[in-house]
Structure 1
Amino acid sequence: MIGLNGGFRHMVSKRPDLELCVLEEAEIIEANPTAFKAPWIKEVRVGAYQQCDEAAQVARAWHADAPFDVVLPGMEYAVRPAYGLAREWGLGEPGDGATRACTDKLLLRQVARAAGVAQPRYAEAASVDDAKAFFEGRPIVLKPSNRRASVGVIRVDTIDEIKSAWREMTTAGEGFRTVGRELAWRYQCEEYIDGPEISVESVVFRGEVLFENITAKRTVGGRYFTEIGHVTPAPVDDRQRRLILDKVHRLLTAMDVVSGVFHSEWRISDGVPHLVECAARPPGDLIPELIRRSQGVDLYEAFVDVLAGQRPALRTNLRSVTAVQFFRPPAGKFVELRGEEALRNSPYVFDYEVNLQSGQQVPDFSNSWQRAGYFALECPDGAVLASEIEVLNRGLEFIVE
């Protein structure tokens, strides 16, 4: 695994036939050394992979000593390095076309346009003037073409907002999650598309789609697009499901997908799914755990299996509805969370986390790294889920100064 992802812990821990080796950036290890000493990790080596080839050299020497069966990315910035090595060694991977399209949002737009997949008007942008030239009086979105977690993605409603939004986009950071050396980012403008949002999680083995799930999601709204809630499976009827999955299949075919797990995001506008973006890896935000609990399919396990050249037996067994909701405390200095006992005592909450310390300034939710925590539930049906979320939200109170 290039770039550690703790979401794989449960799957690796229960599979005695697997040994996980991790290749990670030195700066990221130094920022969180405890995470890399976990018992489910066999060995950790250091190598630079964020827009750098050093990790590939380290991995080649490692592979020569003890050949790997699977190379996978734990994080978005490791996608190209990981699959490049897999391709070099003749191991399972999504295919060069899919890897490139899923790590370059501008290229993805070009591929989707050629395939006839609905999407917003778009253009590459290298300056404020480019963004102003793109603006036609309706809301647009400024976004990096090769970043992650909604970092630097900003809605603009008037031409006068473009200069400050451009500055904010181009100076956005990720703290310890990216390295200190200079990294190259590209940018694009897109027409803003309104409507409900969904994601689709697809497991593909040698070109065949073995499993698909539709997740409903909510974002923070306003200027930003940070995700604040997911429900799976999404409450869509059969007609909507067929329409959505038809567009997903068209996209996967256009990208020449081979094997892997894909997480595509869509907005439904006037009943038509419009592509937002697509990743060639499992999603974050606890979505794999939501799917595992609601349908009995482990995306992480399926991911490893298809990359290992093994066809997984994925039998969907819809047994519950699951959700994760991220906290939205008001702006200010965090004092305490009242009503936390409701989370501990709920028969439906299986996980929760508060990411604020007393005295800490509440983040602005401009990207996924800025969230304040979450709670995750498993309920017998959608009605119980909606009721329990309402009860919990009423009982929770963030005290801020």
Structure 2
Amino acid sequence: MNPVEGTVLVVGSGTQEYQAYLLRSGALRADLWLLDAAAPTWQSPHLTGATQMDPGDVNALISAARSVAERRKVRGVLCYDEALILPAAQAAEALGLPGPSVTAVRNCRDKHRTRALLRDASLPQPKFALVADLAEAAAAAEWIGYPVVVEPRVPGVLSALGASRGAALVRSAADLADLFADARSAPCPSAPTHRVGILVEEYVEGPGISVDGAVHDGAYAPMFVARKEAGLSPYFEETGHVVDARDPLLDDPTLRWVLARTHRALRITDAVTHTELRLTPRGFVVIAVNGGLGGDLVPYLGGLATGIDPGLVALDVALRTPPDLTPAHARTAGIRFLYPPGHCRVDRVTVPAPDEASGLLRASALADPGAALCLPPHDRLQRYAYVLCTGDTPAECAGRLDEAEAQVRLHGRPLELIPGGRKAS
């Protein structure tokens, strides 16, 4: 492992629970300087220095980056926060540093731009229409045919977990008004709400997968495939992921062709990406491309399953260095998120201790005592815990996840909502 001569700027650090492993990996090879809104705490052991500022303010970010560059040899910009990849790219471009281009990042962040570019390249994706109001949405849904999906043009980031809100399955015209309003109210960073618009898309049936990969000098290569578990319909809540290093999809020539052509169409030449697809009767269909590593600890699962270190891959790509995508081993890793059966006020959450013999590597409570948990449509991402296990095969990993989940306990009491969906005190 060759150390990097110079400093790498890190734009946003995310949360310790979900992103500490990426920062830790990057620090193995480079001096990291954090640009973030809060002063470092858990991040400090992995940093050479830090500047406290709003990383979402592009002008402030560029000014802070230049200030560091005046004192240190800055080699690149690293960002693994989906909401900040655009300002990070703008800062890198302003300083003449390598990394994903601003155009490529916008092509990923703006779902309508993604759809238009994939359409022009004749790549498999859902039919779609960009609409401004409910009347246009109704007309688009009739043209596409129910069921349809409504979602913001720009992903609405709900929290540091990197999850989006606003996407929903509309099964009939009777459901459209409420779900359209929900999509329109979702926060959309980097775009004024009144100019964002809403996408109405064809709903395609089939299992969901995601592929985390790396693009170096225009050449795309997958790292690992995650099989998705979803629930809480009509919302697309991802309730779990399983990564099998031996997944045959990794060597599927059609999938590799679709992924390579998709990244070429989006003009991505140097980046780590997270591509979401569905396996449908008509083949692979591209749902979205995120211009950074996936959330929900999917890259961490990939590292456990394959031995490929996603943090080091992201660092290499940020420096325009050929990344090492050589697997070190082959096993399965999975995560499962737990949700309350109904709206509740949390007293406490108890989780089992990690146990390598049973394959349980991590079990974490995500809800603090006193927290109010509400299910969609009143709130989103109301997870109270997760369990993360490994196994030799997907079946063994699934069994271990079942056993670990059975040991988690949510202690709480029902929570009533007053009219308007607000939480009662």
Deviations 1:224-263 (A, max 9, x none): 1121111112775469832222211110121222112111
Match of 1:363 in 2: 374
- Matches of 1:183 and 1:372, distance apart in 2: 34
Distance change (3 Å), C-alpha of 1:224 and 1:22: same
CA distance in 1, matches of 2:202, 2:273: 24
CA distance in 1 between counterparts of 2:70 and 2:148 reads 49
Match of 1:89 among 75, 95, 99: 95
2:210 maps to 1:199: yes
Q: Does 1:372 align with 2:380?
A: no
TM-score computed with the length of structure 1 as normaliser = 0.87
Alignment match, 2:266: 255
Residue aligned with 1:251, SS: helix
Question: Which of 168, 172, 185 in structure 2 is aligned with 1:171?
Answer: 185
Q: Are the counterparts in 2 of residues 139 and 156 from structure 1 also a CA contact under 8 Å?
A: yes
Q: Deviations over 1:371-394 (max 9, x none)?
A: 222111111122211222233334
Q: Is residue 53 of structure 2 the alignment partner of residue 60 of structure 1?
A: no
Alpha-carbon distance, 1:107 to partner: 0.3
RMSD between aligned residues? 2.9
Cross-structure match for 1:284 = 295
Give secondary structure in 1 for the equivalent of 2:78: coil
1:3 pairs, out of 12, 21, 27, with 12
What's the offset of the Cα at 1:173?
5.0
CA deviations over 1:110-148 (Å, ceiling 9, x no partner): 111112211111111211122111122511111112124
Q: How far, CA to CA, are the matches of 2:55 and 2:408 in structure 1?
A: 41
CA contact (8 A) 1:215 1:234 kept: no
Question: Aligned to 2:89, what secondary structure does the other structure show?
Answer: helix
Between 1:121-130 and 1:56-65, the stretch displaced more is: 56-65
Aligned equivalent of 2:129, options 119, 123, 129: 123
Is the Cα contact below 8 Å between 2:339 and 2:382 reproduced in 1?
no
Contact 2:244 2:394 in 1 (8 A): no
Deviates more, 1:387-396 or 1:154-163: 387-396
- Aligned residue in 2 for 1:141: 149
Runs of 4+ in 1 over 6 A off after TM superposition: 181-184
- Per-residue deviation, 1:346: 6.0
TM-score scaled by length of structure 2: 0.82
- How many residues matched? 390
1:144 partner amino acid: P
Counterpart of 2:419 in structure 1 is none
Report the counterpart of residue 116 of structure 2 in structure 1. 110
Structure 1 unaligned segments of length 5 or more: list them.
none
Greater alpha carbon shift after TM alignment, 352-361 vs 288-297? 352-361
Structure 2: 5+ residue stretches without partners: 1-9, 158-162, 414-425
CA displacement, residues 25-82 of structure 1 (integer Å, 9 cap, x when unaligned): 4xxx2xxx56476322333324444365332233223323324111122312211111
Residue 393, structure 1, aligned to residue 393, structure 2? no
Residues 52-61 or 121-130, more deviating: 52-61
Q: What's the counterpart of residue 314 of structure 1? A: 325
Q: Is the 8 A contact 1:216 1:234 kept in 2?
A: no
Aligned to 1:22: 34
Question: For 2:380 and 2:330, how far apart are their aligned partners in 1?
Answer: 29
Does the 8 A contact of 2:245 with 2:305 survive in 1?
A: no
Matched, 1:243 2:254: yes
Please list the CA deviations of residues 301-354 of structure 1 after superposition, one character each: whole Å capped at 9, or x if unmatched.
11111221322332113421000110122113234446x337668621111211
AA partner of residue 287 (structure 1): V
CA contact (8 A) 2:225 2:250 kept: no
